[in-house]
Protein backbone atom coordinates (compact mmCIF):
# COMPACT_ATOMS: atom_id res chain seq x y z
CA UNK A 1 0.00 0.00 0.00
CA UNK A 2 2.69 2.51 0.97
CA UNK A 3 5.62 0.79 -0.76
CA UNK A 4 7.90 0.99 2.28
CA UNK A 5 11.33 -0.25 1.27
CA UNK A 6 15.05 0.46 1.27
CA UNK A 7 16.26 3.30 -0.96
CA UNK A 8 19.79 3.60 -2.30
CA UNK A 9 21.88 6.02 -0.25
CA UNK A 10 19.63 5.86 2.83
CA UNK A 11 19.72 3.95 6.08
CA UNK A 12 16.31 2.69 7.15
CA UNK A 13 13.23 1.88 5.14
CA UNK A 14 10.68 4.46 4.06
CA UNK A 15 8.17 5.36 1.39
CA UNK A 16 8.29 8.21 -1.08
CA UNK A 17 4.48 8.00 -1.31
CA UNK A 18 2.39 10.71 0.29
CA UNK A 19 -0.80 10.01 2.24
CA UNK A 20 -3.83 11.77 0.79
CA UNK A 21 -4.46 14.11 3.76
CA UNK A 22 -0.80 14.94 4.44
CA UNK A 23 -0.28 18.29 6.17
CA UNK A 24 3.32 18.37 4.89
CA UNK A 25 4.05 17.58 1.24
CA UNK A 26 7.04 15.47 0.20
CA UNK A 27 10.12 17.67 0.02
CA UNK A 28 8.73 20.18 2.54
CA UNK A 29 11.11 21.60 5.11
CA UNK A 30 10.02 20.96 8.71
CA UNK A 31 11.23 21.67 12.23
CA UNK A 32 10.65 19.62 15.36
CA UNK A 33 8.23 21.55 17.59
CA UNK A 34 7.11 18.96 20.15
CA UNK A 35 8.82 16.01 21.71
CA UNK A 36 9.21 13.46 24.47
CA UNK A 37 12.06 13.68 27.02
CA UNK A 38 13.94 10.73 25.48
CA UNK A 39 13.54 11.68 21.80
CA UNK A 40 16.70 11.36 19.73
CA UNK A 41 16.29 14.82 18.15
CA UNK A 42 15.74 17.98 20.23
CA UNK A 43 13.20 20.73 19.55
CA UNK A 44 14.34 23.01 16.75
CA UNK A 45 15.95 20.22 14.69
CA UNK A 46 15.29 20.84 10.98
CA UNK A 47 14.76 18.35 8.17
CA UNK A 48 12.92 17.42 4.99
CA UNK A 49 9.91 15.17 4.36
CA UNK A 50 10.71 12.03 2.34
CA UNK A 51 7.20 10.50 2.41
CA UNK A 52 4.20 9.92 4.65
CA UNK A 53 1.75 7.31 5.89
CA UNK A 54 -1.64 7.78 7.50
CA UNK A 55 -4.08 5.89 9.69
CA UNK A 56 -7.65 7.06 10.42
CA UNK A 57 -7.36 6.44 14.18
CA UNK A 58 -3.67 7.16 14.82
CA UNK A 59 -3.09 10.04 12.39
CA UNK A 60 -0.29 10.83 9.96
CA UNK A 61 3.39 10.10 10.32
CA UNK A 62 6.23 11.32 8.14
CA UNK A 63 9.57 9.90 7.12
CA UNK A 64 11.99 12.73 7.84
CA UNK A 65 15.61 13.13 6.85
CA UNK A 66 17.00 15.36 9.61
CA UNK A 67 19.72 17.80 8.57
CA UNK A 68 21.94 16.52 11.40
CA UNK A 69 21.66 12.93 10.10
CA UNK A 70 21.69 13.01 6.30
CA UNK A 71 20.84 9.72 4.64
CA UNK A 72 18.86 8.42 7.64
CA UNK A 73 15.06 8.08 7.37
CA UNK A 74 13.19 8.56 10.67
CA UNK A 75 9.42 8.08 11.18
CA UNK A 76 7.91 11.04 13.08
CA UNK A 77 4.31 11.66 14.16
CA UNK A 78 2.70 14.78 12.65
CA UNK A 79 2.13 16.47 16.05
CA UNK A 80 5.91 16.71 16.52
CA UNK A 81 6.44 18.72 13.31
CA UNK A 82 5.92 22.31 12.18
CA UNK A 83 6.71 24.10 8.93
CA UNK A 84 10.20 25.59 8.77
Q: Could you tell me the domains of the chain? A: 5-83 (2.30.30.60)
Residue 2: the pLDDT is 83
Kindly report the average pLDDT of the chain as a whole number: 96
Closest to 75 (Cα-Cα) out of 46, 49, 56, 57:
49
In this predicted model, what pLDDT tens digit does every residue of 9-48 receive, in sequence order?
999 999 999 999 999 999 999 999 999 989 999 999 999 9
Q: What is the pLDDT of residue 84?
A: 95
| 11 and 71 Cβ atoms separated by less than 8 Å | yes
- Alpha-carbon distances of 77 from 8, 35, 44, rounded to whole Å: 24, 10, 15
Amino acid sequence: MYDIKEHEGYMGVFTRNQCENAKFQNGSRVVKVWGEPNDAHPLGTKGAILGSVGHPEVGNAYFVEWDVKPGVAVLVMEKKLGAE
